[in-house]
A and B are shown apart, each in its own frame.
Chain A
Amino acid sequence: MDRDTGKPLFDIFLLVASGIGFYYATTLPSITSAGGITPAFFPKLLSGLIFVCAVPCFIRDSLEWLSQQRERDYKDEGVRGDGPKSAVAQWFFIMVLIIGYALIFERLGYLVSTTLFCFLAVLGMVVLSGEFSNMSSVEKLKSGLSYLVFSIILSSSIFFIFTALFNIPLPN
């Protein structure tokens, strides 16, 4: 996604999120303490302020985006301002992988989930960045094996350090 398109989109997210925050703040029970302030006072005030501050940000970022679009049309450039596809793919891949790791962390246990995560993270980055396509079949196999060995050693050594040295229990 283009960086400049993301700016107004993120502002919209802030506007919506602050609106939702304000709505939920109004549903809080209005019990007042001796000072007269309810538990909803700060959440309402803060979500309201976020909304008010996000409006000019949205207007400014949208105008900036529009002027950049016009500039591109004027210059008749065929290339849009999207970031490199591999970078976006790498970002999404790592994001999805981290979420997946969080979901299996307790279910599969530390050792299995961490080995799996490390192996897939390294392999995925190599494949998506195009490093893998430049390798021969033998090199691919060797690299894959080295990533697997790295994943097993890393997860086992961290497991030992935290459980044996720091006495921090990790999910089995």
Chain B
Amino acid sequence: MLAGYIEGLSMVFQFGTLLAIAGGTLLGIIMGVLPGLTSAMAIALLLPVTFGMPPVMGIGMLLGALCGAGVSGSIPAILLNIPGTPSSVATTFDGYPMAQKGEAGRALGLAIVASFVGGVASMIILSLLAPPIAEFALRFGAAEYFSLSIFGLVIIASVAGKSLLKGLIAGLIGFFASTIGTDPIVGVDRFTFGQLSLLTGINILPALIGLFAISQILKNAFEYDPAEKITAGRHKIDLARPRFVETFRNWRALLAGIGSGSVVGPVPGAGGSIASLVAYDQARRFSKHPEKFGTGHSAGIVSVESANNALLGGALIPTLALGIPGEAATAVLLGGLMIQGITPGPMLFADQSGTIYGIFLAYLVANFAMLLIMCLGIKVFVKVLMVPRKQLLAAIVVFCFIGVYAVDGDVFNIYLMLAFGVLGYFLNRYGFGTAPVILGLILGPIAESNLRRGLQTFQGDWTPFFTRPLSVIFLGVALLLLVATLWQNYRTSKKEKERKMIHDENGMERHTS
């Protein structure tokens, strides 16, 4: 492990790598400030820039973007009561009231330090937990990998869509798309329709940019309102300096945030909004002054912001150790790793320990970069809120086009991106979600090749897939989750029907009287 860290150190502490991490963090901050632009979109747009970079530099840049977007979502949340990212929803509870008291600078200072501490703590947890998990996963054979892929797909499908069926459909669409191209075992072309660009299968980058950036552009075009005036850029930020002492004085809230983020992070599909709400609730429960929460209390901001950044470290555990991403942004990051020629999973820890520990250290550096850039540029980032949306929309489309074209100079990738963009727009609009599609695209080939390889090894016998202990555990948990989600969906729809009936009856009474 020590040798890995030393090798990783030499990869991270190079001028180019540090510059890339700082650049990624800066872009992430800018994207996070703008409501409607997500961290997944930020790293999807950055992916093409990382092509020619060494793995640690490229992934460091993407991690910087994730770190930056994680904290800057708090700027519009505190100043405008509009969360920049879904995970900043709970920041509005105490951040906005504090800003209304004329203490916006204090709220931002607390958010920055809490995010930084949460990020550093989660990096420590990541570096402690990921290697033993990866070592354990070395025992996995074809049956276990097949079951694990199915488990990952089911778990994200059950939480990403508005209903289990819709989430599953989205996952299956991704899985189906992954079968396009030359068959991995017997070499037959599947659904290529004579298109040479499809022989190697669906390129992950056009799919990622389409699903996470183009679909968002189409959504923003639909929701564009010229009457919407952003005034936060004119806010006067007083003393926006880091509040280390005040953050550590709220140590209970800090621990609640780090704990919630680290626990919720590895759960696939759970996401930042859940982690921050859990952290807020826990901090209020353990506080000596729970009545102060919601009135501009510093502990509220500390708990939520530390959870937001601690979540990333937690989500990286299954992403790096098992190749199963924790949520949409880490799914895109997983795609980034694959583009870099890195296959996440236990073998990565065994074969390329320098790279993996370099990634851990890059994540640590990204947190320091975030702290520095946010402290120095907070007043400038507030002005980003004033960037006109229509110009931004056009610029993002151009970046998407260049990014996809840069893969191999093939315009077919642009058409592919547009197809995934339109599909992603409708999948989001009608409650299917796009994260399961990417998971299907990534996990599909793992599931298919391992099932077929396993069947070859077991001479056509399916029983080892259902009798090997770890395989049974993964499939059993996936099945249990399916049943539990179905039961929960049934109960929710029943309650909704009852509520609607009561509402209709009241309406009828009013109508007749």
Q: In the complex, which of the residues B176, B191, B223, B448 has the most CB atoms of chain A within 10 Å of its own CB atom?
A: B176
Q: Is the CB of B390 within 8 A of A34?
A: no
**Cβ-neighbour of A105 out of B185, B401, B455 (below 8 A):** B401
Closest partner residue, chain A, to B165 (CB atom): A53
User: Is B409 interfacial (CB-CB < 8 Å)?
Assistant: yes
Chain A residues within 8 Å of B411, by CB: 102, 105-106
CB-contacts of B384-441 with A (<8 A): 390-391, 393-395, 397-399, 401-402, 405-406, 409, 411, 414-415, 418, 421-422, 426, 429-430
Q: Mark B168-190, 1 if CB is under 8 A from A, else 0.
A: 11001101100100010110101
Interface of chain A: mostly helix, strand, loop or mixed? helix
User: Is B502 interfacial (CB-CB < 8 Å)?
Assistant: no
**Cβ-neighbour of B190 out of A43, A105, A106, A154 (below 8 A):** A43
User: Is A88 interfacial (CB-CB < 8 Å)?
Assistant: yes
The answer to whether residues A94 and B401 also contact, given A7-B430, A166-B52 and a CB cut-off of 8 A, is no
User: Is B15 interfacial (CB-CB < 8 Å)?
Assistant: no
Q: In the complex, which of the residues B165, B393, B394, B451 has the most CB atoms of chain A within 10 Å of its own CB atom?
A: B394
Chain B residues within 8 Å of A3, by CB: 429
CB-contacts of A19-51 with B (<8 A): 21, 24, 28-29, 31, 33-37, 39-40, 42-43, 46-47, 49-50
User: Is A160 interfacial (CB-CB < 8 Å)?
Assistant: no
Chain A residues within 8 Å of B460, by CB: 34-36
| Size of the chain B interface, CB-CB below 8 angstroms | 61
Chain B residues within 8 Å of A150, by CB: 391
CB distance from B303 to the nearest CB of A (A): 36
Chain A residues within 8 Å of B222, by CB: 83, 87-88, 90-91
The answer to whether residues A102 and B169 also contact, given A39-B188, A94-B221, A118-B398 and a CB cut-off of 8 A, is no
User: Is A98 interfacial (CB-CB < 8 Å)?
Assistant: yes
Q: Is the CB of B397 within 8 A of A101?
A: yes
CB-contacts of A44-68 with B (<8 A): 46-47, 49-50, 53-54, 56-57
Closest partner residue, chain B, to A24 (CB atom): B191
Q: Is the CB of B395 within 8 A of A170?
A: no
User: Is A168 interfacial (CB-CB < 8 Å)?
Assistant: yes
Q: Mark B239-272, 1 if CB is under 8 A from A, else 0.
A: 0000000000000000000000000000000000
Chain B residues within 8 Å of A53, by CB: 165, 168-169, 172
Q: Is the CB of B430 within 8 A of A56?
A: no
CB-contacts of B360-396 with A (<8 A): 390-391, 393-395
Chain A residues within 8 Å of B284, by CB: none
Closest partner residue, chain A, to B400 (CB atom): A98
Give the distance in Å from the alpha carbon of A50 to the alpha carbon of B444 in the complex.
15
**Cβ-neighbour of B393 out of A102, A125, A170 (below 8 A):** A125
The answer to whether residues A129 and B224 also contact, given A39-B190, A94-B217 and a CB cut-off of 8 A, is yes
Contact residues on A (Cβ < 8 Å of other chain), bracket? 35 or more
User: Is B218 interfacial (CB-CB < 8 Å)?
Assistant: yes
Chain B residues within 8 Å of A158, by CB: 398-399, 402
Chain A residues within 8 Å of B405, by CB: 105, 170-171
User: Is A112 interfacial (CB-CB < 8 Å)?
Assistant: no
User: Is A108 interfacial (CB-CB < 8 Å)?
Assistant: no
Q: Is the CB of B224 within 8 A of A121?
A: no
Chain A residues within 8 Å of B455, by CB: 34-37
Chain B residues within 8 Å of A167, by CB: 52
Q: Is the CB of A56 within 8 A of B224?
A: no
User: Is A155 interfacial (CB-CB < 8 Å)?
Assistant: yes
User: Is A109 interfacial (CB-CB < 8 Å)?
Assistant: no
Q: Is the CB of B422 within 8 A of A95?
A: yes
Give the distance in Å from the alpha carbon of A42 to the alpha carbon of B451 in the complex.
10
Chain B residues within 8 Å of A126, by CB: 226, 390
Give the distance in Å from the alpha carbon of A35 to the alpha carbon of B143 in the complex.
13
Closest partner residue, chain B, to A21 (CB atom): B176
Q: Is the CB of B395 within 8 A of A118?
A: yes
User: Is B49 interfacial (CB-CB < 8 Å)?
Assistant: yes
Give the distance in Å from the alpha carbon of A39 to the alpha carbon of B452 in the complex.
10
Q: In the complex, which of the residues B172, B226, B399 has the most CB atoms of chain A within 10 Å of its own CB atom?
A: B172
Chain B residues within 8 Å of A139, by CB: none
Q: Is the CB of A125 within 8 A of B188?
A: no
Give the distance in Å from the alpha carbon of A94 to the alpha carbon of B389 in the complex.
13
Q: Is the CB of A10 within 8 A of B426?
A: yes
Top 3 nearest A-B pairs (CB, nearest first) are A35-B455, A94-B221, A39-B183
Known: A126-B226, A158-B398, A170-B405. 12 other contacts (CB 8 A): A10-B426, A29-B188, A33-B186, A35-B452, A35-B456, A43-B191, A53-B169, A87-B222, A114-B401, A118-B395, A121-B390, A155-B398
List 14 contacting pairs A-B, 8 Å CB cutoff, sorted by A: A34-B455, A34-B456, A35-B460, A47-B176, A53-B168, A53-B169, A90-B221, A90-B222, A91-B221, A93-B221, A105-B411, A117-B394, A122-B391, A131-B226
- Could you tell me which A residues sit within 8 Å of B by CB distance? 3, 6-7, 10, 14, 21, 24, 28-29, 31, 33-37, 39-40, 42-43, 46-47, 49-50, 53-54, 56-57, 83, 87-88, 90-91, 93-95, 98-99, 101-102, 105-106, 110, 114, 117-118, 121-122, 125-126, 129-131, 150-151, 154-155, 158, 162, 166-171
- Could you tell me which B residues sit within 8 Å of A by CB distance? 48-49, 52, 163, 165-166, 168-169, 172-173, 175-176, 179, 183, 185-186, 188, 190-191, 214, 217-218, 221-226, 390-391, 393-395, 397-399, 401-402, 405-406, 409, 411, 414-415, 418, 421-422, 426, 429-430, 444, 448, 451-456, 458-460
